[in-house]
A and B are shown apart, each in its own frame.
Chain A
Amino acid sequence: MSSNLAICGYLSADELATCLPAPERMAKGPVAVIECVQDIPCNPCEEACPVRAITVGLPITSLPVLDAAKCIGCGVCIARCPGLAIFVVDGSRPGDEGTIQLPYEAWPLPEPGESVHALDRAGRRVGTGTVEKVLSAKAQDHTAVVIVRVSKQLLNTVRAISVEGRAEA
């Protein structure tokens, strides 16, 4: 079974088809995107979800299944995923911009209001984002969650940010 993930290290559009939320769901409010497509033995996301919207079941190598109708987009699962493979996207705001919540484990943490490079799954700069909030509660155990505002068109594209060289506002 060849896949872009196994050859290049990131998911292709085809492979993402089963992960990405329906456009209507994204327009309703924040929703998790679980980019976990290999049957590895892991299930903390299932337990993390306060509304039981994620099911892994047995064996624990089963892929997580998200019930997008139940998901409230709280983002608790983001820092609990050992693979850092969960994001929350929100396309419900009026206007051209939406938000992405992503896991962040680099130093220094970005500042709210800061302008950052928005990177895609291959690390390419695809635009600029604005940091809205940085969550780093103790329970997250040093996996910060950064809420970054980007163009709605990039909600399914941007998966990392970089403060390197500081993006121009």
Chain B
Amino acid sequence: MRILRHPILGNLDEQPPVFIEVDGELIPAREGEPIAAAIIAAGRLKLRHTRKSGEPRGVFCGIGRCTDCVMTVDGQANVRTCVTPVKAGMKIVTQGASPEREAQE
């Protein structure tokens, strides 16, 4: 959820959104903000699944250390979305096995 008004920081400056594609879905973002911020603003907290058991994970540390927020960005795996800035048109895919996928395999 975007914070549009703020008593200290004022109104969020209006800049035209750019769009990024997350698992095939277009979501609006602010150019230069971390990818994770845009995805969380769109209402989604889950950013990856763990490889073996497919458990959901999201941002924990927010400073690029814990790697719980990694996603595949423009074909590059394991990108830390909490510290990687948005560029218009990025294609982002959730990593790891989902429980459903494992069941199918």
Contact = CB atoms under 8 A, between A and B. Distances in A.
Contacts of A108: 5
A105 B5 contact: no
Contacts of A105: 7-8
A25 interface: no
Interface in B1-49: 5-8
Interface string A104-145: 011111000000000000000000000000000000001010
A105 B8 CA distance: 7
Contacts, number: 11
A142 B5 contact: no
Contacts of A109: 7
Interface residues of A, number: 7
Nearest to B10: A142
B71 to A, nearest CB: 33
Interface-central residue, B5, B6, B7, B8, by most chain A CB under 10 Å: B7
A100 B6 CA distance: 24
A39 B5 CA distance: 35
A66 B19 CA distance: 56
A104 to B, nearest CB: 8
Contacts of A107: 5-7
Contacts of B6: 107
Nearest to B5: A107
A142 B9 CA distance: 9
Interface of B: 5-8
11 contacts: A105-B7, A105-B8, A106-B7, A107-B5, A107-B6, A107-B7, A108-B5, A109-B7, A142-B7, A142-B8, A144-B7
What 8 pairs between A and B have smallest CB-CB spacing?
Answer: A107-B7, A142-B8, A107-B5, A105-B7, A106-B7, A107-B6, A142-B7, A105-B8
